[in-house]
Amino acid sequence: MNASVSSVEIPAELSVGRLGRGPHLAIAGASVALGTAVTVVLGGFAWGWALVLAAIAYVALVYAAARLVEDRRRAVDRLATAAVTMAFVIVMLPLVSVVWTMASKGIARFDTTFFSDTMRLTPEQLGAQRDGVAVGGARHAIFGTLIVTGLATAIAVPFGVFTAIYLVEYGRGRLARWITMLVDVMTGIPSIVAGLFAYALFVVFFGAGTRSGLAGAVALTVLMTPVVVRSAEEMLRLVPNELREAAYALGVPKWKTIVKVVLPTAIAGILTGITLAIARVVGETAPLLVTAGVAQDTNLNPFSGRMTTLPVFTYTTYKYPTQPIEASIDRAWAAALTLVVIVAIFFAISRILAAVLKPKGL
């Protein structure tokens, strides 16, 4: 038996060598050096071009090395893997760079003054310091962001989820097609158009020059609703029909099947979609400049008066800095970082709620 096993011929494609981790690291180092050298020779080092050239060189060198050591099938596999990996790296590096820039520039003003003060300052207070830090903060903008975004979420989520339920569970015929087309059109609406729509709507009822947090919330609702509809619709369609049929077989009414079976099964995906919709609108500036305006102090009443949000605060502080200019720029970076932290908190809360509300055994 041993003799028969030893006499079996091993195919050539199974006996070729393999490109290990060491050669991969060497190729990566050579690619980085090559990309850097080419950019220096062509007119000066630029890390963006160096990265692109290094990625191209890495893909080509990996394929060439794999063809020398391995067979053609594995070489093509290495080529595809290297191309996908380099595409991922090229996409991730700018994102990491943005986060690092915001964190490094914004952390300097992450202090109690920034979160406790507003920009309602007298001329004497401009440039003054408290505990070595320039006075003036973004408390009013933080409250404005939470109020406006909270109102938009309270309006958009019920409309969006109920519309998705209708399209998946009840929608048939012309009305469902018209609603689907309208949602698709709303998905591509520019944000400034949503702001102008909300402003025009409030002008009709309250007169020209109306600015309020509610108007800003309506503008964000126009942008947020189609995202909620689309994400909730896709999650509801992923619920197996067998679950619905099992409930119907037990005599459970359709509305109760949706509430007790369909929604709990899809709740994790729906919450993620809602969080993405919040992240989509929480950073909007143009529609809020038109509808909510700019305020220098805290306004907790969304039905009356101007209300500043963090994106608007960041824009106005950076575009129209006060003296000293360095303090204004630091406040702008800190506001941008605060906005990112708020979005991260929203995502964390949605994941926790999804884990808690998810039915057992799913």
Residue 54, pLDDT above cutoff 90: no
**How high does pLDDT run on average in the chain?**
83
Mean pLDDT, to the nearest integer, of 164-190?
Answer: 88
Neighbours of 47 (CB within 10 A): 13
Tokens read off for 62? 């990996």
Same domain? 104 vs 134: no
Same domain? 80 vs 143: no
CA distances from 360 to 59, 204, 267 (A): 45, 50, 12
Instruction: Identify residue 70 by its one-letter amino acid code.
Output: E
**Does 116 fall in a domain?**
no
Per the rule left: phi > 0, alpha: psi between -120 and 50, beta: everything else, 173 is left
For residue 277, the surrounding DSSP H or E stretch is helix 263-282
Contact 53, 38 (CB under 8 A): yes
Decide which of 76, 108, 140 is a domain's last residue: 108
In tens, the pLDDT along 130-161 reads 655 666 778 889 999 999 999 999 999 999 99
Same domain? 266 vs 303: yes
Same domain? 248 vs 138: yes
Among 41-45, 76-80, 205-209, 243-247, which range has the highest average pLDDT? 243-247
Tokens read off for 61? 């060198």
Let me know the angle formed at the C-alpha of 160 by 158 and 161, rounded to the nearest 5 degrees. Answer: 65
Quick one: pLDDT at residue 129? 60
Instruction: Identify residue 228 by its one-letter amino acid code.
Output: V
Quick one: pLDDT at residue 1? 46
Same domain? 99 vs 136: no
Q: How many domains, the chain?
A: 2
Handedness of CA 81, 83, 84, 87 (dihedral sign): positive
**Does 161 fall in a domain?**
yes
Residue 9, pLDDT above cutoff 60: no
Residue 5, pLDDT above cutoff 70: no
Same domain? 88 vs 147: no
Same domain? 142 vs 270: yes
**Does 124 fall in a domain?**
no
Decide which of 108, 138, 155 is a domain's last residue: 108
**Does 9 fall in a domain?**
no
**Does 237 fall in a domain?**
yes
- At 226, is the pLDDT very low, low, confident or very high (cuts 50, 70, 90)? very high
Same domain? 47 vs 145: no
Residue 185, pLDDT above cutoff 70: yes
Residue 15, pLDDT above cutoff 50: no
Q: Domain span at residue 176? A: 129-357
Q: What is the CATH number of the domain that holds 141?
A: 1.10.3720.10
* Gap between the Cα atoms of 300 and 312, Å rounded: 17
Which residue shows structure tokens 């505990």? Answer: 131
Backbone angles phi, psi at 41, to 5 degrees: -65, -35
Same domain? 100 vs 135: no
Quick one: pLDDT at residue 155? 93
Mean pLDDT, to the nearest integer, of 215-228?
Answer: 92
Decide which of 54, 77, 108 is a domain's last residue: 108
Quick one: pLDDT at residue 131? 53
- At 327, is the pLDDT very low, low, confident or very high (cuts 50, 70, 90)? confident
**Does 119 fall in a domain?**
no
Lowest mean pLDDT among 93-97, 283-287, 345-349, 356-360: 356-360
**Does 287 fall in a domain?**
yes
Q: What beta strand segments (E) does 112-229 contain? A: 129-130, 133-134
Which residue shows structure tokens 């808690």? Answer: 356
Residues in the chain: 362
Quick one: pLDDT at residue 13? 47
Same domain? 85 vs 157: no
- β-sheet bridge partners, residue 312: none
In tens, the pLDDT along 241-283 reads 898 889 888 888 988 999 888 888 888 888 888 988 898 888 8
**Does 77 fall in a domain?**
yes
Same domain? 186 vs 276: yes
Same domain? 95 vs 181: no
* Gap between the Cα atoms of 136 and 165, Å rounded: 47
- At 127, is the pLDDT very low, low, confident or very high (cuts 50, 70, 90)? low
